[in-house]
Structure formats: C-alpha cells, structure tokens
Amino acid sequence: MPWAQVATPWGEFYAAAEGENLVELRFPGPPPGELRPPPPVVKTLTRQLGEYFRGTRTAFDLPLALHGTEFQRAVWRELARIPYGAAVAYGELAARVGRPRAARAVGQAVGANPVPILIPCHRVLPASGGLGGFGPGLNWKKRLLALEGAGSYP
C-alpha cells in the first residue's frame, strides 16, 4: 500500500488512501512503506490534523473507507460519537454497541482502529482508572487527552 507523509506540528504522520478515501493513519516513526506524493484527501487530512493539534478543530470531516469486521465497524462508529474532550469506559462502549459483556472484545476492536485521532480511540479508558492501552504509546494518549482537556494522567 502506498503511503503519504503528513507533516503536522506534532511530527510526521503517515496516511494511506484508496481513491478519495483515507484507509489508515500512522503515528510518527519509520515510514510504513513506499512513500508517494499525497493525494487530495491526504492534503485535507494534513490541514485538519494541523488545526486539531493547534486546538482550533474538534472534529474531522474526511471520507474514510475502513476495513474490518462488522463488529469492529460498529465499535468504530460508536467511537466516532464520543465528543471532543470526553472519555468513556470500555464497558460503557460495549453497552453502547449492544454487547455489554464484551468489554474485552470492544478493547480489541478499539485497538484495531485504522485511523486513530480521526476516530478517537484515545478517548476510551478503563473503568478502574488509569489510561489503559494505546497502540502508538501511552505518551501519545496522554498528549491527546490533555490537548482536548479531558483531564491529566500520570
């Protein structure tokens, strides 16, 4: 899959697109594959992420083509409904998708989110407190939550 670099105030992210739709977003690090010039949707992503990191954008308006199971897509749709600056527990998210006993399965679907930040998986926290997990690393989760004013975490 060809990737495009996404320059932001928080570093160089990487995005993959299929046609007019974003399919994946990766945090700064080594390029995940062959880099190509950014298509129009990645240029829009670059602008919107810059606005988000500067604190002037609270929601994203980008076309997405997400590949996952029906359960994963249901979890991702519900993640997208978590407001900026808010957080929910994994169990609450499980109840919202109609599977109140499936908090672990929900956690796995959250972890498989191909477009973090755009679909705000960083806004999900364990009911017992703390941060839980985050694929790109807990420091990123802390920074994103702090940016949104969702509290401070050790």
Residues 6+ apart with CB under 8 A from 5: 12, 13, 14, 31, 35, 38
Is 71 marked active-site?
A: no
Q: Which two tokens stand for residue 24?
A: 């994946």
Instruction: Please check whether residue 105 is in contact with residue 99, taking contact to mean a CB–CB distance below 8 angstroms.
Output: yes
Phi-psi region of 130 (alpha: psi -120 to 50; beta: other; left: phi over 0): left
Whole-angstrom Cα distance, residue 70 to residue 56? 33
Look at the chain and count its residues.
154
Which residue among the candidates 41, 42, 121, 145 is catalytic per the annotation? 121
Instruction: Please check whether residue 6 is in contact with residue 45, taking contact to mean a CB–CB distance below 8 angstroms.
Output: yes
Amino acid at position 16, single letter: A
* Residues annotated catalytic, as ranges: 121
